[in-house]
Structure 1
Amino acid sequence: MTPPASGSSSPAPDSEKDPHAEVIERIRNFNLRPREIRDHLDRFVIQQNEAKKVLSVAICDHYNHVRRCLEDPTLTERDYAKQNILLLGPTGVGKTYLMRCIARMIGVPFVRADATKFSETGYVGGDVEDLVRDLVKAADGDVDLAQYGIVYIDEIDKIAQSSGPAGSGGGRDVSGRGVQINLLKLMEETDVSLTSQNDIASQMQAMMEMQRGGKPRKKTINTRHILFIVSGAFDKLSDRIKKRLQSASIGFAANHGDADKPDSDYLRHAQSRDIIDYGMEPEFVGRLPVRVACQSLEPKDLEKILLTSEGSILQQYRADFAGYKIDFDITPEAVTEVASRAHREGTGARGLMTVLEQTFRNFKFELPSTGIRSFKIEANTVAEPEKTLRALLESNAENQRDVLRAEVQTFADRFHQAHGFTLNFQEDAISALIEQSLETDKTIRALCEERFHNFHHGLTLLSRDGTTPSFDITADVVRDPEKALSKWVVERFRDNETDAPAAS
C-alpha cells in the first residue's frame, strides 16, 4: 500500500470516513482464514459442513488473489483461473444464505438473481450484463467497490438445453444455451457498460451529467475480480448419478449404505460429464472449477435451525410479537412437531416458515388487540392452533373488557388532540361500546370512528358562543350521535332565547 505523501492533510475523523473506502481498504488487507469464515457461517447455517469448507477456501483464494493484484498490478496480466463456484442441492438448504452471509462478513456488494429471468440477446428477457450493473447499484454507484462484489445466480439448472440427452431434465430451448454463452465472458473477464441500451433513464442521466460538465463517471466496469456463484437443484441429475454409481458397484463392492440416503445426496458425486449431459455447455461448466453439493435437511437439522441459528425464523416471530409487547414460550415437543411438519413440506428450511405461519397466523391477528402479554406454544398448538387460541381468549375474556375500556379513553384522547373537544364517556356509553365490540367483532376504534366521524362539525356549532368544549357521551349518544347533536343544538338555541333581554 502506498504511504501518504509528505505534508498531506491529517486523516478525517471517524464520522467523516467513507464506508466504501473502508471496505476497499479491508480487501487490500484481506487476511481472513478459511476456518474463520467457516466459524462465521456456523452461526447462521446449520449443517452443510462440506459446503462451508469448500466455500471458505474458495473465498479466501479469490480475495487473496485480489489483494495480491492490488499490491502488484502486474499480476493482473497473468492468467488466473478464477474460483467461480457451482452449488448443487435441493431448495431451502441454505445455498443463498451461505453466500449472503459471506458477502456480509467481507462487506462486499452482493447481488442475487434467478437464471430464468435472463434470455439470449434478441429474445424477451433481461440481459445478463444487468447482473453487473445491479452490483454497481448495490454499491451505491461506487464502481471501484462493485468490481470486488459477488454475483449469485440461482436456478442455473433451468437454463439447461432441452436438446440434451433423454432424461437430462433440461429446461429450455436455444435461449438457454445463449444465456450460458453470454455468461461465459462475464464469469472470466470483460468490460461491461454501466448504461444498458434498454435503460433510457440511465442514458438520460448520463447525458445530463455530461451537459453539466461535472466529473465524468466511469463508463464501464471490469468483471476480473467479481466472483460468480451459480446454483441449482438439478433434480433429475441425482437419478443419473445414482444409476451410474450403482452400475459401477457390483456385488459386495456396492455401498449399501447409500440406499437409505435421499436422492439429492447423490449430487456430491457429480462429475463434469454428468452436468454436461444434463444440458449445460462444456465451456460453462469449465468456468466453474469449484463445485460442491449441499445436503438435504433432516427434521433434527430443522430443529437446530429453529433453536440455534442466529438467523432463525423463530426469532423473527419473537420480534413480530415483541412489537405488541407480547412474548411466547415454545416447548421442545412443539419444536419437534414444527420440524417434523416442515420436513414433510419438502422445501427445506423454507418449510419452517410455512408451518410457523400456519401456527401463529391467528395469534398475530387476535392477540395485539387483547391484554394478553404471553402465551405458550405446545405440540397440540401446532396441530390445532385455532383450538388453543380459542381457549386462550376465553380464559382472558374478563380482562378483555378492561382492554376495551382503555381503548374508549384512547379514542377520546385522539379526538381531543385532533379537534380540541373533550368527550366524557359515561359508564353506560362505555358498556354499550364494549358490548357492540364483542358482538360485531370490531375494534373500539373502528366503532367510534364510524359513529363519530362527523361529530366534530356539530360540536363546532355548539361551541361558537364560547362555551367550554366538553361534552358528556351517554349510551343514547353512542346509539344515535346525529340525533344527540340535533337535540343539543335545539336545547342550546332555546337556552339562548330564554337568556336574551326582552324587547322594550
Structure 2
Amino acid sequence: MNSNKYLTPKEIVAELDKYIIGQGDAKRNVAIALRNRWRRMNVKSEMQSEIVPNNILMIGATGVGKTEIARRLAKIANAPFTKVEASKFTEVGYVGRDVESMVRDLVEQSVNMVKSEKKEEVKLRAEQIVEDIILDALIPPMRTNGVSKSTSEENSDAEPKSEQELNERTRERFREKIRNGELEDRKIDINVQKPAGSGIGMIGGGAMDESSMINLQEMIGNMMPKKSKKRKVTIAEARKILIDEESQKLIDMDEVKETAIRRAENTGIIFIDEIDKIAKSGGQKSGADVSREGVQRDLLPIVEGSAINTKYGIIKSDHILFIAAGAFHVAKPSDLIPELQGRFPIRVELENLTKDDFFHILMEPKNALTKQYMALLESEEVELTFQEDALDEIAQTAFDINAEVENIGARRLHTVMSRLLNEFLFDVPDKIGPNAKIVITRELVKEKLSGLVKNKDLSEFIL
C-alpha cells in the first residue's frame, strides 16, 4: 500500500474541519484510528493479524456531530460504511433484525463500491458495445450469404458490392450522428433483461429479517432462467440501460465479491447509533432491560471478532472499526454490560454547541446551510447574501431556543433558517424575479424571528 494514498492524522483532522466545527478530541481519535489501519496493513510480521482496531464510544447530545464525523471519516478513507441504530435490533430468536445484519449491510455496501469501480474500468469497452447495439437497431447490417464470386465478376459482383458499401456508408453516417448526440430523442426497440426474481413474491416469516428475505428471493431468482423483454425507448435512455447491462457482463463478479469482502474486513466502518437505548438505566431490571441486555450480548462476539455468513461469502469482523454513539441522558456508559464496555476502549465526550459554534457552522463548512440556500436561489438567478451580524443573530436565536426547549444541537439551525427564508423561497420567482438581490441583515433576522425565544410555546420548533 502506498502511504501517499493515506492521509496523516493531522491531514484527516484538517479534512474533517472542512465540514465539522469543533469536537477536536473526537476528530483526533478517529484520525488516529484511521491512520492505524494503514499502519497495520504495512506491518510485515505475523503481528499484523494480532493488531485489532481500538473501537470508539462517542458520548454527546443529539446534533453535535457524532454521525457526521463517522460518515465523513468513511468518505475520506473511501471505506465501506454502514450506520445502524442499536434500538432496532432484537435478541436472537425474536422477530426483527439480528445484530449480524449490520455486517451483512457493510458487505453489501462494499460490493456496491467495488462494482462501481469495476464498471468504471470497463465503461469505455461497454460504450463501444452499446454504440454497436444502438446502430444495429437503427440500421441493421446487411447479411452476407457467403455465396462465392462467379467467374463473370462484372455482372454478379457489382450490385451486391454497391449495396454492401451503401449500407456501410449509411451506418458510418449514423454512427457519427449517435456520437454527436443528434439522435438522442429517436426511439428504438431494445431487448432488456428482466431483473432476477421479478414476479417472485416476498418469502419469509418467523425470525427472518427483511434483508434475509430479500437474499432468499434473490437466490431463487438467480436459479431461474434469465428472461428479456422488448422495450421502446429513446436512444438516450437505451444508452443508460444498455451500458449498465453490458458493464455487468464485462465484470468478474467472483473477483468483485472477493475484493469486497477483503475491503470490508480490513477497512469497513460500522457506526452503531443510540447505543445508550440498549443500556439498562438504574439498578432494577424489567423485562425490557433483560431484552436489551440480550442485544448487548449478541453484539459482543461481532465487536470482538467472529465469522459471519453473508450471501457473498464468510466475513471476519476482527478488523472492522466499530464506532458507537449515544446521548446517555438517562443511562450512563457504565450501565452497559462490562464485557461490551471493554470492547470500546476509547471514550470521547463531545461538547454541546455554543453560540460561537453555531456562528462558525453557518460560515465555514463547505456544505454550510447558508451556502446551500445561496445555491438553491442561484438556480433561479437570484443572489442571496448574509451580513456577518445577521449570522451572529441567527446563531444567537438558535442557541437561545435550544436552551429554552429541547437541545437538538446544530439541527436547530435548519428550523431557524427555514423560518427566516420561508417568505423569500415562496416569492421566488413570482414576486422576486431573475437578477434580484436578497440581503439578509440583522434587522431582518430580528423582524422575521422576533419573539420566538420569549414565547414559551415553541412547539413548532421542536422537531
TM-score under structure 2 normalisation? 0.59
- For 1:62-105, what per-residue CA distance to the aligned partner results, in whole angstroms no more than 9, with x for missing partners? 4422443xx55x33553x44311000111111111111111111
- Alpha-carbon contact 2:359-2:395 (below 8 Å) kept: yes
Q: How far, CA to CA, are the matches of 1:60 and 1:171 in structure 2?
A: 42
Match of 1:153 among 258, 268, 272: 272
- For 1:434-463, what per-residue CA distance to the aligned partner results, in whole angstroms no more than 9, with x for missing partners? xxxxxxxxxxxxxxxxxxxxxxxxxxxxxx
Q: Does 1:374 align with 2:430?
A: no
- Alpha-carbon contact 1:334-1:379 (below 8 Å) kept: yes
- For 1:240-298, what per-residue CA distance to the aligned partner results, in whole angstroms no more than 9, with x for missing partners? xxxxxxxxxxxxxxxxxxxxxxxxxxxxxxxxxx622xx20100000001111111110
Name the aligned partner's letter for residue 17 of structure 2.
Answer: D
Q: How far, CA to CA, are the matches of 2:344 and 2:444 in structure 1?
A: 47
Q: How far, CA to CA, are the matches of 1:120 and 1:87 in structure 2?
A: 24
- Alpha-carbon contact 1:30-1:67 (below 8 Å) kept: no
- For 1:411-436, what per-residue CA distance to the aligned partner results, in whole angstroms no more than 9, with x for missing partners? xxxxxxxxxxxxxxxxxxxxxxxxxx
In the TM superposition, 1:247-266 aligns within 5 A as none
- Alpha-carbon contact 1:160-1:172 (below 8 Å) kept: no
Structure 1 residues 352 and 326: CA distance shift in structure 2, 3 A: same
Question: Tell me, what secondary structure is at the counterpart of 1:119?
Answer: coil
- Alpha-carbon contact 2:52-2:318 (below 8 Å) kept: no
Q: How far, CA to CA, are the matches of 1:333 and 1:171 in structure 2?
A: 53
In the TM superposition, 1:314-329 aligns within 5 A as 314-329=370-385
Larger Rg: 1
In the TM superposition, 1:67-466 aligns within 5 A as 67-68=42-43, 71-72=44-45, 74-75=46-47, 77-78=49-50, 80-141=51-112, 142-147=260-265, 148-162=267-281, 164-165=282-283, 172-195=288-311, 218-236=312-330, 275-276=333-334, 279-343=335-399, 344-345=401-402, 346-370=407-431, 371-372=433-434, 373-385=436-448
- For 1:203-224, what per-residue CA distance to the aligned partner results, in whole angstroms no more than 9, with x for missing partners? xxxxxxxxxxxxxxx4221112
Q: How far, CA to CA, are the matches of 1:318 and 1:301 in structure 2?
A: 21
Give 1:48's aligned residue. Answer: 23
Between 289-298 and 334-343, report the one with greater CA deviation.
Answer: 334-343
Question: Tell me, what secondary structure is at the counterpart of 2:111?
Answer: coil
Name the aligned partner's letter for residue 326 of structure 1.
Answer: V
Give 1:434's aligned residue. Answer: none
Give 1:38's aligned residue. Answer: 13
Q: How far, CA to CA, are the matches of 1:131 and 1:31 in structure 2?
A: 26
Q: How far, CA to CA, are the matches of 2:356 and 2:288 in structure 1?
A: 37
Q: How far, CA to CA, are the matches of 1:337 and 1:123 in structure 2?
A: 51
Q: How far, CA to CA, are the matches of 1:120 and 1:153 in structure 2?
A: 16
- For 1:21-73, what per-residue CA distance to the aligned partner results, in whole angstroms no more than 9, with x for missing partners? xxxx56x87643221211221222111112222222222224422443xx55x
TM-score under structure 1 normalisation? 0.55
Question: Tell me, what secondary structure is at the counterpart of 2:270?
Answer: strand
Q: How far, CA to CA, are the matches of 2:16 and 2:93 in structure 1?
A: 41
Question: Tell me, what secondary structure is at the counterpart of 2:315?
Answer: strand
Q: Structure 1 unaligned segments of length 5 or more: list them.
A: 1-24, 196-217, 238-273, 388-504
- Alpha-carbon contact 2:58-2:350 (below 8 Å) kept: yes
Between 308-317 and 349-358, report the one with greater CA deviation.
Answer: 308-317
Name the aligned partner's letter for residue 61 of structure 1.
Answer: N
- Alpha-carbon contact 2:81-2:269 (below 8 Å) kept: yes
- Percent of paired sites with the same residue: 36
Q: How far, CA to CA, are the matches of 1:85 and 1:91 in structure 2?
A: 17
Larger helix fraction of residues = 1
Question: Tell me, what secondary structure is at the counterpart of 2:374?
Answer: helix
Q: CA deviation at 1:353?
A: 0.8
Q: CA deviation at 1:334?
A: 1.5
Runs of 4+ in structure 1 over 4 Å off: 28-31
Q: How far, CA to CA, are the matches of 2:65 and 2:414 in structure 1?
A: 14
Q: How far, CA to CA, are the matches of 1:298 and 1:310 in structure 2?
A: 20
Q: How far, CA to CA, are the matches of 2:6 and 2:287 in structure 1?
A: 41
Between 222-231 and 58-67, report the one with greater CA deviation.
Answer: 58-67
Q: How far, CA to CA, are the matches of 1:347 and 1:93 in structure 2?
A: 8
- Alpha-carbon contact 2:34-2:77 (below 8 Å) kept: no
Q: How far, CA to CA, are the matches of 1:326 and 1:144 in structure 2?
A: 49
Q: How far, CA to CA, are the matches of 1:30 and 1:367 in structure 2?
A: 45
Larger RCO, structure (CA 8 Å, separation 6 or more): 2
Structure 1 residues 124 and 313: CA distance shift in structure 2, 3 A: farther
Q: CA deviation at 1:315?
A: 1.4
Q: How far, CA to CA, are the matches of 1:103 and 1:64 in structure 2?
A: 17
Q: CA deviation at 1:379?
A: 2.5
Q: CA deviation at 1:386?
A: 9.6
- Alpha-carbon contact 2:40-2:48 (below 8 Å) kept: no
Name the aligned partner's letter for residue 106 of structure 1.
Answer: A
Name the aligned partner's letter for residue 340 of structure 1.
Answer: Q
